[in-house]
Structure 1
Amino acid sequence: MDNNSKKRIAILGGGPSGLFMYKRLVESGKNDFDVEIFERKAQLGSGMPYSTEGANNEHITNVSGNEVPDIVTPMSEWIHHAPEELLKRFNIDPNKFNDYKVFPRLLFGEYLAAQFDMLCKTASKAGINTQIHFQTIVADIKYDLKSNTVEVETTDGQIKEFDFAIICTGHNWPKSHEGKIPGYYDAPYPPQKLIQRLNHAVAVKGSSLTAIDAVRTMARHNGSFEFDENGGLHFKVLPESSEFKIMMHSRSGMLPAVRFHLEDSHLSNDSLLTKEEIDEHRKNNNGFLSLDFIFEKNFKEIFRERDSKFYEQIRDLSIEEFVDEMMELRERLDPFQLLRAEYVQAEKSIKRQESIYWKEMLGVLSFAMNHPAKYLSAEDMQRLQKVLKPLISIVIAYVPQKSCEELLALHQAGVLDLIPVGDDSSVEPQTEGGILYHFTDESDKKQSVYYKTFIDCIGQPHLQYNDFPFKSLVNQKAISPARLKFKSNEAGHTAFMQNKDTVQKDEAGEYFMNVSGIAINDNFQVIDQYGAFNKNLYIMAVPYIGGLNPDYSGLDFCEAASLQIVQDLLQD
C-alpha cells in the first residue's frame, strides 16, 4: 500500500456482521480508508435471519429492543420514524412500543437496513468513501504475498484488489438431499417452502429455535390459533389436514428454556476474568486455558456475594456434577410440563424485571469463554461440547413467550409431540420420497418410522475446513484447519488410536484434535498452514470459525468481534 494513499477495505457480506464491521469503521474517528461492501441481496443489514430468506411474518426475535447492541439509533426511537405501511403490516403502534418485548424478525430486518443507511450518510459526511455492490456474489478470494493485498473475484467477472478484507458472510446450509428426495428438507429456510397443506405426520429433527420456527410456520397453514373467553390459546386443525401432526426428534428429549428478563442485556459482567488474568493463567498451565478455571472464576465466583445460597449449592461441584444437577429436573419432567412451568416463571421474571440469575450467568459464561476458547486443550473442548454446551444451548435459547404459548397450544391439541432419540439415531432418505427415522426409544427398543415429510432443524451447522467456499485461499495454503492440542499425550494417543480422521500426530509426537472450521488468532485473522497469521485478511463468518469460537451469540458476537478487528486493522 502506498503510504500516501488510503487503505482499501472490503467487507464481504452486508448482513448483521457487515453492519457492525462498517459501524466500527465509520465511528473510528479516522477517514484514511475507502470501503467497498459486497452484498448478495438487494438490501443491507438484514442478512438471512431477518429477511424473507430466514423469516415469515410470524417469526419473532428472541431478544428485546433493550438487548440489541447500540448501532445508530435504538429500536425504540427508530420505530417512531418507521414507514407507516410497515407498522401497519405488523400491527405496531409506536406509542405503545415496549422496549422490553420481542418483535417480528422482518421488522427488525428493516430496522437494521435503516441503521446501515444512516451509517452510510455518516460516513459520507466524515469523508469516508463507500461503494456498495448489491446483488453481488463473491466467487473467490486470493492473497498476493508479494504485494500483501487481497484480490476479490465476483461471479459477474469483477476482480478488485484491496489492502484488507473482512469475510462477513452469514449463515450457510449446504444441501444434501433437498431437491432430490421428495419431502426432504435440509433446512427450514427459506420458510416459504414450508407453506403447505400437510395431511400426515411430519418429522422435525431438533428442538431448537430453528425447529420452533418451522413448527410455527407449518401450524399456521394447517390450522389456526384461537383465544378462548379466558384468554387461553388453542389450536384448531383444518378439516383437510386432519392427520397433520409434528413430531420433533431431540437427542436430549428436551425443549429449550423460555426467555426471561436479563439484568445485563448485553451478556457482560464486571467480575469476569480480564485478558491479563487469562494470559497469566495460561503461563502457569503450559499455554492452555483450563475449562475448570473459567467455570470457577467466570461462573461460580460471581455468586459468592450475589447469591450466597446458590453459591453454597454449587461451590464444590465439578462441571459434570453441576450439569447433572441442573439437568436432573429437565430429565425427570415431561418436556411440555416443564415448558409450562418455565413459562410461568419467565412471565414473572419479565413483569417484575427480575433476572433468573443463574441462567443469565450461564449465558455470560458461554459468551465470555467464546473468544479465548482457542486456548482450551482438546480434552477440555471435548468436555465443553459434550458436557457443558448441551446445558447452555437449552438454557440460553430464550424461547419467546409467544412461541411458547403456541407450542403448548399445539401439544394440547395433540398436534405436536417430542420424541427423545438418543445419540445413535439416524435418518435414511427414501428414493421414492420421505425418510426412515431410526432410533432407540425410551424402552430401549429399536424403531424405524417412516415420514413422508422431513425437515432438518438442528440449526446452523459448524462447517468444516473442506466446506470453505473460497478455494484459492485453500489452494494457496493461506488458511488452515482449526485444531486443538491435547494436554496429555496419553489421552491424545488413545484418541488417535480410536479415530485417526479427527486426531493427528505431528512430527514431534504431539497430538491434535481437528475441530470444525478454519484457524484464526485473537484478532480474527486467518492463520496459514505454516502457522503465520495474515495481517490483511480477517473473518467473522461464524459458520467457518465455530470450532474455535463455539458460542453463536448473534449480535453480541458481531459487536465484540468487529471491535477487536477494527482496533487491530486501523492501528497506526
Structure 2
Amino acid sequence: MKKYAVIGSGPTSIYLLKHIFDYIGILKKEIHSISIFEKCDILGMGMPYNPHTTDLYNLSNISSEELPELDISFANWLKKQPKSKLNAWGIDKEKISKKEVYNRLALGQYFQSQYQTIIKKFSNSGIIIKEFPKTQIIDIQYNRTTETATLIAHKNLEFTCDKVIIATGHVWNEEDHPAAGYYGSPWPIKKVFPKPNTFHNFTVGTLGASLSAFDVVSSLARRHGEFKETNNGALIFESFKGAEKFKIVMHSENGWLPHLQYEQEKPIREIYRHLNREAVFNALDAAGFLRIETFFHKFCRKALAVAFKKDGMPTMEKKVLEGDCSFSDFVEDMTEKHEFENAFEGMRMEMEKSKQSVQHNKPIHWKEVTDDLMYALNFHAELMPAEDHLYFHKKIMPFLMNVIAAMPIPSGNLLLALYDAGKIEMISGHAEVLETKNDPYTKVTVSNGDAQEILKYDMFIDCRGQQPINLKNYPFQSLVKDGFVTSSQIKFESTTKAKQLMGSDKSHTIVKKKNNFYYNFDGIAIDSGYSIMDSHGEAIHNIHDISFTHITGLRPYSYGLQACEATSGILVSVWVKSIENNTEINANMENITEIYKEDINL
C-alpha cells in the first residue's frame, strides 16, 4: 500500500480525485493514503477562482455545458443555491442556464463544493485523505534507491511519499515595480485597484489584449464608472466624477481582440472525434514523425469541409478540399476573414453573428471542428518533429487564441461600451517594457515596421497570461539539480533546418546528440503518461507532472478545464492499466493512445 501526494487542490486535482474514486475498487488495493498540499488557506478552488486572487467582475469564460461534469453540473448547482448567494454574485435564479457564462467567484464556490463532496466520498472508501492547507511545497527530493519522494515545505516540514502528482496550476512570480506603476501580472487583481476614495485618473496600459487583459479592463472600469442600459437595450459607460481621465490602452502585436462566444454542437471535446488511433499511426512518415501538413491533409480537410458546408460557406468548403490547400492557407484565409483594421469595430460586426449563434442555437461548426482537431493534435504532439512544433507555436497558436478563442458576449458588450465612450484603445506593434526601477512611470517601446515610439504610463500591467516555465524557474529545483527533471527536447526531422536555426537567435536552444539535432522547448520532459523524464531519458514513474505551465513543450494546446479533466483521466487510466495487468507502467505513445481509444470521452 502506497502513500500518494498531490501538490495543489484546484480543478486539475479535483478531476484527478474524481477519476481515482471512479476506479476505487481497483486503486484502494494500491493506495493507502492521499495527502493534498495547498499553499492557500482555501482548498478546492484554484487560483483563477479564488476570492484572494480574482474579482466579482471577472468572468469564467466557460459555460456550464462546457464544464466536464462532477457530482452535479454547475448550472444545476447554482439553481440549488440560496437567493442571497446568487444576488451577491449578480445571478438571477430565474435565468440560470447551462449556456450562460458566470463569474469566477461563483465557479470557485462550485469547485470547492465538488471538492468537498469528493473528499466525503473517500471517507468510507478505504483510502485515507489528508489535507494540508497553507502548506506550500518548495522542493522535492527523490531517492532512486527507495523510490520515494520527500516533499519539503516551509518551516523545514518534510513529508515522504511513494508517488507525487504535481498539479500546481497558475503561479505568478513576476516582479512588480509599484513605484513605477509596473505590474508583472494582474494577480492578485486587487493590487491594481485604486486606493479607497481615489481613482486612476490617467491612462492605464496593458501588455496583451486577450482574456487576461479583459479581466483588468472589467475590474478597473467598474471602479471608475458605471455601465448603464439605454431604453433601446444598448450598453453605455459613464465615468464617475473625478475619474474623467481614466482610460485603458491595450497593446497587441497583431492588433487583435479575442473573438466572441459561439454556439457548439458538442461542447465537450473528444480526442478521437474526427480521427482514430489506427489512422494516426498509419500517417507517420518513414522516420516515425507525424508531420503537421500530413495531419491537416489526412484529418482536417474533410472534417472542415463538412463543417463549412453546415455553415453555408461553399467557397471555403471547396477550397479546403483542393489538393494544394495547406494548413497555412486555411489559417491565413480564416484569419483574413476575421482580421479588422479596427478591432473594436470588427467586434461590433462579430457581435451580431455571435448573438445569432448563441441565442438561436446555431453552431459555428468550422470553429468548433478546428478546436476539436487541434485538441486531438495536442494529445499526439510528441509525434511531431521540432520544426512542426515551431511552426505550430508561431502560426497556429496565435490563430487559435484569437480567432477560435471565445470571449463571452457580455464581455464584448462592455468593451464596446468603453470604446464608444472613448475609454479604451488598441495599439498594435511589438511592445517592450524598458527598465522601470528608477522612474516614476513605466516606459514602453512600440515597434511597428520601421516606426518606433516610446510611451509613458503611470500604470502598466503585463496581461499576457502565464508564461511557460523553463528549468531555471521550475519550482522544485532539487529534481533539476539531481537530473530527475530535464528540458523538453524535441527531435528535428531535418538536419538542414536545425543547422539553419543554429545560425539564428534560436541557436542556444538547439543541441546535438550523436547525429541528431533537438530543440529545447519551454517546459519539462515528460512521457506520454505524464511521468517526469530524467537526464538518461528514463521515466520516473513515482513523480507525475500535470501542471500545464510545466508540460507546455509537449502539450502546446493543453489548456482549460476540459484538458484538466482529460489529462488527469489519462494519468489515472495509466495506473489502472498497470495494476490490472500486474506490470510496470508502460507509457509510450502507442500504449497511451489505446487509452484514448477505449475512453473517447477523455
Q: Normalising by the residue count of structure 2, what TM-score does the alignment of the two structures yield?
A: 0.90
From 321, 324, 330, the equivalent of 1:322 is 330
CA contact (8 A) 1:295 1:365 kept: no
Aligned to 2:591: none
The superposition leaves residues 242-290 of structure 1 with CA deviations (integer Å, 9 ceiling, x where unpaired) of: 22111100001111100111111112375433333323333x3412121
CA contact (8 A) 1:69 1:556 kept: yes
Give secondary structure in 2 for the equivalent of 1:62. Answer: strand
Aligned to 1:92: 91
- Residue 500 of structure 1 deviates from its aligned partner by 6.0
Aligned to 1:379: 387
CA contact (8 A) 1:54 1:190 kept: yes
- For residues 482 and 19 of structure 2, the distance between their equivalents in structure 1, rounded to whole angstroms, comes to 30
The superposition leaves residues 185-219 of structure 1 with CA deviations (integer Å, 9 ceiling, x where unpaired) of: 11111111222111111111101000000011111
- Residue 537 of structure 1 deviates from its aligned partner by 0.8
From 342, 348, 355, the equivalent of 1:340 is 348
Between stretches 222-231 and 81-90, larger displacement belongs to 81-90
- Residue 304 of structure 1 deviates from its aligned partner by 4.1
CA contact (8 A) 2:204 2:458 kept: yes
- Residue 345 of structure 1 deviates from its aligned partner by 0.6
Pairwise mapping of residues 428-447 of structure 1 onto structure 2 (< 5 A)?
Answer: 428-430=434-436, 431-441=438-448, 444-447=450-453
CA contact (8 A) 1:194 1:217 kept: no
- Residue 62 of structure 1 deviates from its aligned partner by 1.2
CA contact (8 A) 1:205 1:250 kept: yes
Aligned to 2:412: 404
Give 2:533's aligned amino acid: I
- Residue 95 of structure 1 deviates from its aligned partner by 4.2
CA gap of 1:264–1:405, structure 2 versus 1, over 3 A, is: same
CA gap of 1:233–1:472, structure 2 versus 1, over 3 A, is: same
CA gap of 1:77–1:313, structure 2 versus 1, over 3 A, is: same
Aligned to 2:297: 296
- For residues 454 and 531 of structure 1, the distance between their equivalents in structure 2, rounded to whole angstroms, comes to 43
Aligned to 1:331: 339
CA contact (8 A) 1:496 1:511 kept: no
Aligned to 1:220: 222
The answer to whether residue 182 in structure 2 is matched with residue 184 in structure 1 is yes
From 379, 402, 421, the equivalent of 1:394 is 402
Give secondary structure in 2 for the equivalent of 1:502. Answer: helix
Pairwise mapping of residues 5-404 of structure 1 onto structure 2 (< 5 A)?
Answer: 6-30=1-25, 31-32=28-29, 33=31, 34-176=33-175, 178-179=176-177, 181-196=179-194, 197-268=199-270, 271-282=273-284, 284-308=285-309, 309=314, 310-316=316-322, 317-404=325-412
- Residue 553 of structure 1 deviates from its aligned partner by 2.7
- Residue 505 of structure 1 deviates from its aligned partner by 3.4
- Residue 307 of structure 1 deviates from its aligned partner by 3.9
CA gap of 1:465–1:53, structure 2 versus 1, over 3 A, is: farther
Give 2:214's aligned amino acid: I
- For residues 445 and 117 of structure 1, the distance between their equivalents in structure 2, rounded to whole angstroms, comes to 56
The superposition leaves residues 310-358 of structure 1 with CA deviations (integer Å, 9 ceiling, x where unpaired) of: 4312223212111221122333442111101111111111112121111
Give secondary structure in 1 for the equivalent of 2:543. Answer: strand
Pairwise mapping of residues 506-545 of structure 1 onto structure 2 (< 5 A)?
Answer: 506-545=512-551
Between stretches 508-517 and 208-217, larger displacement belongs to 508-517
Give 2:247's aligned amino acid: K
RMSD after superposition? 1.8
- For residues 87 and 500 of structure 1, the distance between their equivalents in structure 2, rounded to whole angstroms, comes to 51
Give 1:557's aligned amino acid: A
CA contact (8 A) 1:17 1:558 kept: yes
CA contact (8 A) 1:489 1:511 kept: yes
From 545, 563, 566, the equivalent of 2:569 is 563
Give 2:484's aligned amino acid: A
Give 2:531's aligned amino acid: Q
CA contact (8 A) 2:335 2:403 kept: no
Give 2:473's aligned amino acid: D
Give secondary structure in 2 for the equivalent of 1:234. Answer: strand
Give 2:36's aligned amino acid: I
Give secondary structure in 2 for the equivalent of 1:156. Answer: helix
CA gap of 1:139–1:503, structure 2 versus 1, over 3 A, is: closer
Give secondary structure in 2 for the equivalent of 1:299. Answer: helix
- Residue 65 of structure 1 deviates from its aligned partner by 0.8
- Residue 488 of structure 1 deviates from its aligned partner by 0.6
CA contact (8 A) 2:64 2:100 kept: yes
The superposition leaves residues 432-483 of structure 1 with CA deviations (integer Å, 9 ceiling, x where unpaired) of: 22222212347x4221111111000011111112110101101110011012
Give secondary structure in 2 for the equivalent of 1:287. Answer: coil
Aligned to 2:433: 427
Give 2:152's aligned amino acid: E
Q: Any gaps of 5 or more consecutive residues in structure 1?
A: 1-5
CA contact (8 A) 1:518 1:544 kept: yes
From 495, 501, 505, the equivalent of 2:501 is 495
The answer to whether residue 481 in structure 2 is matched with residue 482 in structure 1 is no
CA contact (8 A) 2:180 2:442 kept: no
CA gap of 1:39–1:269, structure 2 versus 1, over 3 A, is: closer
Give 2:361's aligned amino acid: Q
CA contact (8 A) 2:53 2:189 kept: yes
- For residues 552 and 402 of structure 2, the distance between their equivalents in structure 1, rounded to whole angstroms, comes to 18
- For residues 506 and 416 of structure 2, the distance between their equivalents in structure 1, rounded to whole angstroms, comes to 45
Give secondary structure in 2 for the equivalent of 1:240. Answer: coil
- Residue 305 of structure 1 deviates from its aligned partner by 4.0
Q: Normalising by the residue count of structure 1, what TM-score does the alignment of the two structures yield?
A: 0.95
Between stretches 520-529 and 48-57, larger displacement belongs to 48-57
CA contact (8 A) 1:53 1:189 kept: no
Aligned to 1:3: none
Give 2:545's aligned amino acid: I
The superposition leaves residues 53-99 of structure 1 with CA deviations (integer Å, 9 ceiling, x where unpaired) of: 44211111111111110111111322233355322312334443111
- For residues 330 and 302 of structure 1, the distance between their equivalents in structure 2, rounded to whole angstroms, comes to 21
- Residue 533 of structure 1 deviates from its aligned partner by 0.7
- Residue 367 of structure 1 deviates from its aligned partner by 1.4
CA contact (8 A) 2:307 2:365 kept: no
Give 1:455's aligned amino acid: I
CA contact (8 A) 1:359 1:396 kept: yes
Matched positions, count: 562
